[in-house]
Homo-oligomer: A and B are copies of this chain.
Amino acid sequence: MIIPRSHPRYLSLKTREQLVKGNRSGLVVPEGLIAHGRGEAFDYILGEKTGRSAKSAITAAAALLLTARRPVISVNGNTAALVPRELVELARAVGGDVEVNLFHRGRDREMRIAKTLMRSGASRILGVGKEASGRIPGLESMRRKVDPSGITKADVVLVPLEDGDRATALRRMGKKVIAVDLNPLSRTARAANVTIVDNVTRALPLLNREVRRLKRHNRSRLDGIVSGFNNEKNLVTAVKEITSYLDKWNGV
């Protein structure tokens, strides 16, 4: 289907198409399509724009990544289909690695995602095949597999579009978790240290810009940004952004 650029929801529909293509090419699993739909709905009631709460979280996330000893950017099928370049750029900018970390693992899919990241400029990709020999304690099956030189050792992990159990398990391992999740009520959103309630296609470019801007600042200033950020409070703001959008709609 050809979507006219003038369509009021052009970007959302183009993104949807990217996901469906990703599904056909084996990057995205059916469950990933459903998850994307959930995101679409939350984005819709956020007015499909990056709100004030998301901007604060992006600044905190940039500072946290820049002050990390070993930051790792976790990549799944949906993010590989949507923002592969931005993820690779981010990892490079913060001196970290990208790691393939899937809920539904499969050798074929891992390889496809790794290839996509390669084509997007990654020179080193963790978490593929036998490299994922580490384990997240307290999780069963494929979801727990991680790379011993990646997430296992990381102090800060960015998990865009994560599931709640894994986000919680990473916190239990003592890691700082940055999530990108359009649902401010989700367990992932609440488990993370910094939750960016925004569409990953808008948030990642903004996060990269913020990393470039904050790179000039010294350590103590960055630490100040991190310690001044309160995720719980920020999520309350995000929920308020939704309710005021809905109230406006309702003429309240």
Contact = CB atoms under 8 A, between A and B. Distances in A.
Contact of A41 (B1, B31, B41, B240): B41
Interface string A217-243: 000000000000000000010011011
A183 interface: yes
A93 interface: no
A41 B37 CA distance: 8
Nearest to A21: B30
Contacts of A239: 246, 249-250
A188 B31 CA distance: 25
A246 B250 contact: no
B34 A40 contact: yes
A30 B39 CA distance: 15
B31 A185 contact: no
Q: Which 9 pairs, one residue from A and one from B, show the smallest C-beta to C-beta distance?
A: A37-B37, A41-B41, A33-B33, A34-B37, A38-B41, A37-B38, A20-B30, A243-B243, A239-B250
Interface of A: 1, 16, 19-20, 23-24, 30-31, 33-42, 44-45, 141, 183, 185, 236, 239-240, 242-243, 246-247, 249-251
Contacts of A141: 1
For this chain, the copies found in one complex come to 2
Contacts of A1: 141
A19 B35 CA distance: 13
Contacts of A243: 243, 246-247, 250
A120 to B, nearest CB: 23
A41 B41 CA distance: 6
Contacts of A251: 236
Contacts of A44: 38, 183, 185
Contact of A30 (B33, B35, B42, B240): B33
Contact of A31 (B20, B38, B45): B20
A102 to B, nearest CB: 14
A195 to B, nearest CB: 15
B34 A183 contact: no
A76 B39 CA distance: 23
Contacts of A185: 44-45, 246, 249
A30 B37 contact: no
9 contacts: A16-B34, A19-B30, A20-B31, A20-B34, A33-B33, A34-B34, A37-B41, A41-B41, A243-B250
Contacts of A36: 34, 37
